[in-house]
Amino acid sequence: MISISLIEDKKAWEEFVLDYEENAGKLLGGIFLESWAWGQFQKKLGKEIHRLGVYDGKRLVGISLLYLQKAKTGSFIYTPAGPIFLKWDKKLFTKWLEFTASFAREKEATFLRIEPKVVSTVAGKLLKEAGFVKAAAYTQPKCTAVIDLTKTEAELLAEASDSTRYNIRASVRKGVSVREGSSKEIQVFVNLLKETAQRKSLTLPIEKDYHKVQFDNLYREGLMRLFIAEAEREALGAALVLFYGNSAYYLHAANSLRKRQLRASYPLVWHCILESKKKGLKWFDFWGVSQTENPNDPWAGVTSFKLSFGAERVCFDSSYDLPLKSSYLLTKAVETWRKPIRKIFRFR
């Protein structure tokens, strides 16, 4: 018998997510978005979150983190990188959808958005039959660039472009060093981020102290580290790297215009790659590149830089929306219009 209930047990939740990733045997990209810690972070931002467990008898066979996302054109219920099912089965999915759609209507949401990373033929058919449509926008990056950390350090360096190898070495030779920042140095990153945003006319998150709250929560759980590139004790670049499961994510980065000729971003990334390799992880995920070489893609500005480290571009399936109100059409129209000109707040 299939049943749905809320999960309050952190251990049970984490074991399911990590076991699922381990048994998948392939890159799942962004599965940290379904982690217990990510849910707690969303909670700290003031969002109402719910962790659903799908059971077949007493066996946990599926999970999904749900939270209410407010937008200018209407609120929606969002489940990032999910739902996650051991197997997409019609009875199981139908039960999950009944509960989730009812919850979304209770919250007067305009639509329900899901982002399963890989959609099989069976899953695609179930989504279509249930009334899901492909979303106009992808809340998380649709494409990313990854490096296989099981290769040797020499192999990793050899796969970077000639110019990238040169910039890494030249930057270090000119006095740039990279170190891990303490939990009290998050403001170094925030200041660089504000400088980068102002310089490139980029939009920062609307939530107050978004990155500080994120770092504080994930650092406390041992999942995030701050790395700082500097010369003569002056911070020239900084990155927040998230570690979860078998992957490291280059989640956020920012740099300064000061001493730009030193190209501090290159040794910063290389240091993060090597630190991730030392942890025994399998993948280094740059967390976002453009899908094509279109210069108008919102990720175009960082793509060539990330790929220059020998990273392979990987793309995932579309987001899917289940419209719950007629006003969804307005939401989709706005997202379609905004998509080509949307600017991101993740930097190289």
pLDDT at position 174: 96
- Cβ atoms of 289 and 303 within 8 Å: the answer is yes
The distance of Cα 194 from the centroid of its chain, to the nearest Å, equals 20
Beta-ladder partners of 167 = none
What is the mean predicted confidence (pLDDT) over 118-134? 93
Percent of the chain with pLDDT over 90: 74
SS3 7: coil
Rounded Cα distance between 176 and 2, Å, is 57
C-alpha distance across the termini of the chain, in Å = 49
> Residue 185 forms beta bridges with which residues?
none
pLDDT (tens digit per residue) in 21-47: 988 877 777 899 999 999 999 999 999
Which superfamily, per CATH, for 143-314? Gcn5-related N-acetyltransferase (GNAT) (3.40.630.30)
* Residue-by-residue DSSP string for 241-278: EEEETTEEEEEEEEE-STTGGG-THHHHHHHHHHHHHH
Distance CA 270, CA 276 (A): 10
- For the chain, what are the domain ranges? 2-139+317-338, 143-314
Tell me the CB-side half-sphere exposure of residue 276, using CA atoms within 13 A. 34
Q: Calculate Rg over the CA atoms of the chain.
A: 21
Confidence of residue 120 (pLDDT cuts 50, 70, 90): confident
Q: Which CATH superfamily is domain 2-139+317-338 in?
A: Gcn5-related N-acetyltransferase (GNAT) (3.40.630.30)
- Minimum mean pLDDT range among 13-17, 71-75, 108-112: 71-75
This model's pTM is above 0.85: yes
Q: How confident is the model at residue 8 (pLDDT cuts 50, 70, 90)?
A: very high
Q: CA torsion sign, 116 to 122 to 128 to 134?
A: positive
Q: Give the mean pLDDT of the chain.
A: 90
Beta bridge partners of 244: 247
Q: Please, what is the Cα angle at 299 between 246 and 77, to 5 degrees?
A: 70
Going by the DSSP 8-state scheme, the letter that residue 29 receives in this structure is: -
pLDDT of residue 342: 46
**DSSP annotation string for 130-152:** HT-EE-SS-SS-SEEEEEETTS-
